[in-house]
Amino acid sequence: MLILSSLLLALPCVIPQDQILTTSGSKLLGKLTTISKAEVQFENAAEEAQTLSAAEVIALHPQIRSELMLRADSFLAAGDFQNAVNTFELASSEVGADWLAPLASLRHGESLLAWAVIDGTRAAEAKSTLEQWLTQWPDHFWSSRARIALAQAQAATGDADGATAALQALADEAFNENLGEAVLYRATMARCRIYHNDGQAQIAESRIKDLISKLERKVDTRETPSGLASLFSEISDEARTLLGDSLLQKGGFSAARTYWESVLRNKRAGASSKASAKIGLALEAIDKGELRKAQLLLAGIIATLPNQSPAMAHALFVMGQVSSKNGDTPTPGSTYWNELIDSHPGSPWAVQARQALGN
């Protein structure tokens, strides 16, 4: 026993490390020390001080050791917004790394925003919480993330014009002050979504097309670092899905069908936008009474799309609808709705599935 204990003590201790995702595509490990919107400082494994400009960083993933933070994330993933909000607020008062309080407070605001998607009365509280965050940490690395969330909360309270203006200001600041293209295009994407959600389909369509065109050129340019190219591909795929929704909003199925079919042929389009295009075609088939065609389109998505994709939740909900319309054959609609609730409990589609089930 003594020998075994000595051997265990001699083994190197694996210390959890913070992760820094860079525009070059590399993932750096170490201990975050200073985080601002101008630069990120950290210590590497050799305890050497390193500094990156914020423009070189796509995302920071601190190693979470706080039990309260981990519990809050679990609540949020399960769609338990009340407990998530309360627990993130408690975590923001914990003593820990310098990044803990701003991250917990930001997640508090973001969880309120997620709740507001389901319960619009929470939007004002989300807005107030995020405003307080920016007052306390205006120059933090996560300030751009907080400003995007604040604009979304502002739009949810009914001030879409103020929200889009705030996002344009952030995009301009990102360009003029070299905050990085990650900030620039995330803000631009959020602005497009607010136009769409506000029913401004014509403006949304124009802005989204322009965004997709710019991002595709960026991805095709050799000078674009691999990490940024990957991010731009993700944003452009999100934009393709939103463009289909805006075309549907503007002109109905006849206006959107040709676009959805083009997405399915587009080699640039990712799995998520192609799945959303198939969902759109399935909805059109349902509208025409072609239920079997709709089921086949949706079955292909459910069988092949990664479960964590947001489009999967939508596909499961619509499959439940069409199966119910088709006499619960070959599979009861409730089966898909229950699967949706189990696998995506915090999704707005899960809320609709619970309503469809009478829960």
CATH 1.25.40 fits 290-359, yes or no: yes
Question: For the domain 65-158, what is the CATH code?
Answer: 1.25.40.10
Helix/strand/coil percent split, the chain, to 5: 70, 10, 25
Domain spans, the chain: 2-60, 65-158, 167-269, 290-359
Residue linked to tokens 């694996």? 14
Please report the pLDDT score of residue 16 as a whole number: 61
* pLDDT 10s digits, 278-329: 999 999 999 999 999 999 999 999 999 999 888 999 999 999 999 999 998 8
Alpha helix segments (H runs only) across 181-309: 181-197, 201-220, 226-265, 271-287, 291-304
**Rounded Cα gap, residues 338 and 316, in angstroms:** 9
Q: In whole angstroms, give the CA distance from residue 150 to residue 268.
A: 31
What six digits make up the tokens of 257?
């069908």
Q: Backbone phi, then psi, for 159, in 5-degree steps? A: -105, 70
pLDDT at 45: 84
**Tens digit of each residue's pLDDT, the chain (359 residues):** 444 444 334 444 445 699 999 999 999 999 999 999 999 999 998 889 999 999 999 999 999 889 999 999 999 999 999 999 999 999 999 988 899 999 999 999 999 999 999 999 999 999 999 999 999 999 999 999 999 999 999 999 999 999 999 999 999 999 999 999 999 999 999 999 999 999 999 999 999 999 999 999 999 999 999 999 999 999 999 999 999 999 999 999 999 999 999 999 999 999 999 999 999 999 999 999 999 999 999 999 999 999 988 899 999 999 999 999 999 889 999 999 999 999 999 899 999 999 999 87
Cis amide bond preceding 138, omega within 30: no
Domains 65-158 and 290-359 equal at CATH topology level: yes
Among 206, 213, 283, 294, residue whose Cα is nearest residue 246 = 206
Torsion of CA 4, 5, 11, 15, to 10 degrees: 140
What residues are paired with 41 via a beta bridge? 34, 51
Q: Which CATH architecture has domain 2-60?
A: Roll (2.30)
User: Which residues lie closer than 8 Å to 313 by C-beta, 6 or more apart?
Assistant: 340, 343, 344, 347, 349, 350
Q: How high is the pLDDT of residue 3?
A: 44
Q: How far apart are CA 50 and CA 299, in angstroms?
A: 49
pTM of the model: 0.92
pLDDT score at 9: 43
| Beta-sheet strand order (sheet of 57-61) | 49-53, 39-43, 27-35, 18-22, 57-61
